């Protein structure tokens, strides 16, 4: 089933008339309730919840007797203060969102890398071939160096160890042995 213009218009009309997704699916035929709900959301029609109470509010005064109107209005003020109270509650702070292309703040490290391994990596990176993404092969070290959002970004490019994506120095940093605490548990 495809959503033709005619079917979409009928869906919009039925939805605005207040029919349920199941009723619309039956009327259209060949679609499920979930397909109708999905299309309604994609079309941006899902804000029907605000319209239904307005129609109900219009009908209630017409049906209500004049002496019942004050009784119906009396309970209304009680829920309003309760509803207003949550809006005064403090909003919890959000985590900072860092835009794409911006460097990330320093992250806490679960496993500290040994100073010898870092020194070895720095020496290897001085000798690196500094290749781009399109130059990578299965035999080149794919260790990224620098910030991808800058022009100073490159890959190591030295010979990769067999069965590994990185050269010997970068394998030493990437594949850390299990911590001694984990070894003791066994």
Residue 169, SS3 per DSSP: helix
Q: Give the Cβ contact number of residue 16 at 10 Å.
A: 11
Considering only 1-15, 95-109, 152-166, which range has the smallest mean pLDDT?
Answer: 95-109
**Percent of the chain predicted with pLDDT > 90:** 21
pLDDT tens digit string along 42-88?
888 866 655 544 444 444 455 555 554 444 444 555 555 444 455 56
Ramachandran area for residue 29 (φ above 0: left; ψ -120 to 50: alpha; else beta): left
Pairing mode, strands 144-145 and 154-155? antiparallel
**Which pTM does this prediction carry?**
0.37
| Cβ atoms 120, 158 nearer than 8 A | no
Residue 178 has pLDDT above 70, yes or no: no
Between CA 47 and CA 12, with CA 4 as vertex, the angle to 5 degrees is 25
């Amino acid at each position: 089933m495809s959503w033709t213009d005619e079917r979409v218009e009928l869906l919009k009309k039925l939805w605005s008339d207040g029919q349920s997704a199941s009723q619309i699916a039956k009327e259209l035929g060949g679609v499920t309730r979930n397909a109708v709900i999905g299309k309604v959301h994609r079309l941006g029609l899902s804000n029907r919840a605000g319209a239904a109470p307005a129609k109900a509010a219009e009908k209630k005064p017409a049906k209500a007797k004049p002496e019942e109107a004050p009784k119906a209005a009396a309970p209304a003020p009680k829920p309003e203060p309760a509803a207003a109270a949550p809006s005064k509650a403090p909003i919890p702070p959000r985590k900072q969102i860092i835009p794409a292309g911006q460097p990330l703040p320093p992250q806490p490290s679960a496993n500290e890398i040994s100073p010898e391994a870092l020194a070895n990596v720095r020496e290897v990176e001085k000798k690196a071939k500094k290749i781009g993404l399109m130059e990578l092969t299965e035999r080149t070290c794919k260790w990224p160096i620098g910030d991808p959002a800058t022009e100073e970004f490159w890959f190591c490019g030295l010979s990769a160890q067999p069965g590994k994506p990185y050269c010997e120095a970068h394998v030493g940093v990437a594949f850390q042995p299990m911590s001694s605490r984990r070894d003791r548990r066994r």
